[in-house]
Amino acid sequence: MTRRVFVGGLVVDGTGAAAAPADVAVQDGRVVDVGPDLDGDEAVDCTGATVLPGLFDCHVHVLMSGVDTLRQLQTPYSQVYFEAVRNLRRTLALGITSVRDAAGADLGVAEAVRSGLVRGPRMQISLAMISQTGGHADDWHVCGAETPLLPPTPGRPSGICDGPDEVRRTVRTLVRAGADVLKVATSGGVLSPRDDPRHPHFRPAELAVLVEEADAAGLAVMAHAQGADGIKNAVRAGVRSIEHGIFLDDEAVDLMLEHGTWLVPTLSAPRAVLAAVAAGAALPQAVVDKAVAVQAQHDESVSRAHAAGVRIAMGTDSGVGPHGENLGELQLMADRGMSTEDVWHATTLSAARLLRVDDELGSLEPGKRADVVVLEGAPDDLSGLAGRVREVWQDGERVVAGGRVADPAA
């Protein structure tokens, strides 16, 4: 097989080490060597660029393309699947070669990518968010109508349940439908107009059953958790990651450190809601008010978690905001006090560890799959990242060049 060498660039290997000049040799879809003056059959000139492992976004919604209640009501049911193809390509064009879909994508979407029918990042899917009645995934309105962002389908069962027995059945139904990870809402949220992000959802007995069933199926649990009590209940139950973490307090941070729980900040999310409203999106006033109220607290909580040493993995909530703007999250993380080395680590190896794929992905080390990103400019410059992606490679195959995503093989 052809031995291809990425030469002349600065290498950020994903381990958290500082960038350094090096070459990266790839053969048969794997990294085979990293070091100076490597030889090979073909060279990829990376002069003036940074060479990185494939990037991760641990919180996306590929079947969502923004939040606008009126647009949602007027969009034909099947259109969102065609929009997902575009969203997947936009994400891959950024050098994001792996994502965790935090509700929406079903097994058919994931299999379309896995089989090569659709070009996109590797996917772990959660299908639907497990939520109590009146919780973050319950889209009942006071007029009596229900307008779920992600309505139940044959491939995406409803996640609404109450009591340990219903929780157990819901988990087993999602596992049967192809979930790779389970998502639960242990607090209210911003986009759900009838709840409060500070209030805890599900009781400890319900969460214990959920995690027990997830463990039995070999799956991790991610928790939409914004209020401090909801965060702490989720961590005590054994979830693997806290999504958002808006109202973290010192006890919650200590618990996350004790349990080794990741934080996926999604700093982009409340900003995306406010940007959508400014652009004319129709959303309930309660949603807008909550987005305004939480942003400063969200920023402060992420700074607190990072300073304490909580594990952080990059996630954006893209779908709430536009796909293709994911890399803006990196500057937001840096603004919260993370060094550029920490930011890149959160977007590579730390994220791979969260998703339990670090044996194959997340760093440029011999034996790992050859997901490689060539980024114009220096790694300590986090500005304008989307426009600086020169090339993207998956398993040693170039899938993006000059911002253009290659079509799948016939």
DSSP SS3 for 50: strand
| Same domain, yes or no: 378 and 264 | no
Q: How many domains does the chain divide into?
A: 2
- What pLDDT score does 307 carry? 98
| Same domain, yes or no: 87 and 139 | yes
DSSP SS3 for 136: coil
Q: Which of 302, 188, 310, 304 is closest to 250 using CA atoms?
A: 304
- Tell whether 223 is covered by a domain: yes
Which helix (H) or strand (E) covers residue 33, if one does? strand 30-35
The string of pLDDT tens digits covering residues 386-410 is 999 999 999 999 999 998 999 987 6
Q: Measured between alpha carbons, how far is 173 from 50 in angstroms, rounded to an integer?
A: 44
Tell me the pLDDT band of 191, cut-offs 50, 70 and 90.
confident
Print burial letters for 75-109: b (CB count within 10 Å at least 16), e (below 16): eeeeebbebbbebbbbbbbbbbbbbbbbbbbbbeb
- What pLDDT score does 128 carry? 98
| Same domain, yes or no: 367 and 271 | no
CATH classification of the domain holding 60: 3.20.20.140
- What pLDDT score does 410 carry? 63
- Tell whether 336 is covered by a domain: yes
| Same domain, yes or no: 45 and 59 | no
Q: Measured between alpha carbons, how far is 199 from 142 in angstroms, rounded to an integer?
A: 20
| Same domain, yes or no: 193 and 305 | yes
| Same domain, yes or no: 294 and 267 | yes
The string of pLDDT tens digits covering residues 263-283 is 999 999 999 999 999 999 888
| Same domain, yes or no: 211 and 91 | yes
Mean pLDDT value of segment 71-92 = 95
| Same domain, yes or no: 345 and 372 | no
| Boundaries of domain holding 380 | 3-53+362-405
Q: Is 267 exposed, middle or buried (0-12, 13-18, 19+ CB in 10 A)?
A: buried
CATH classification of the domain holding 12: 2.30.40.10
- Tell whether 410 is covered by a domain: no
| Same domain, yes or no: 128 and 175 | yes
- Tell whether 203 is covered by a domain: yes
| Same domain, yes or no: 334 and 382 | no
- What pLDDT score does 330 carry? 98
Asked if 186 and 207 touch (Cβ cutoff 8 Å), the reply is: yes
User: 21: which strand partners?
Assistant: 10
Q: Which of 138, 243, 269, 145 is closest to 192 using CA atoms?
A: 138
Among left, alpha and beta (phi > 0; psi -120 to 50; other), residue 106 is beta
Computed over every residue of the chain, the mean pLDDT equals 96
Tell me the pLDDT band of 43, cut-offs 50, 70 and 90.
very high
- Which of 335, 355, 375 represents a domain boundary (last residue)? 355
DSSP track, 54-65: PEEEEEE-TT--
- What pLDDT score does 38 carry? 97
Give pTM, 2 decimals: 0.96
pLDDT at 174 over 90: yes
Query: Given the DSSP bridges, would you call strands 182-185 and 221-225 parallel, antiparallel or unpaired?
Result: parallel
- Tell whether 255 is covered by a domain: yes
| Same domain, yes or no: 264 and 375 | no
| Same domain, yes or no: 23 and 171 | no
Mean pLDDT value of segment 137-142 = 86
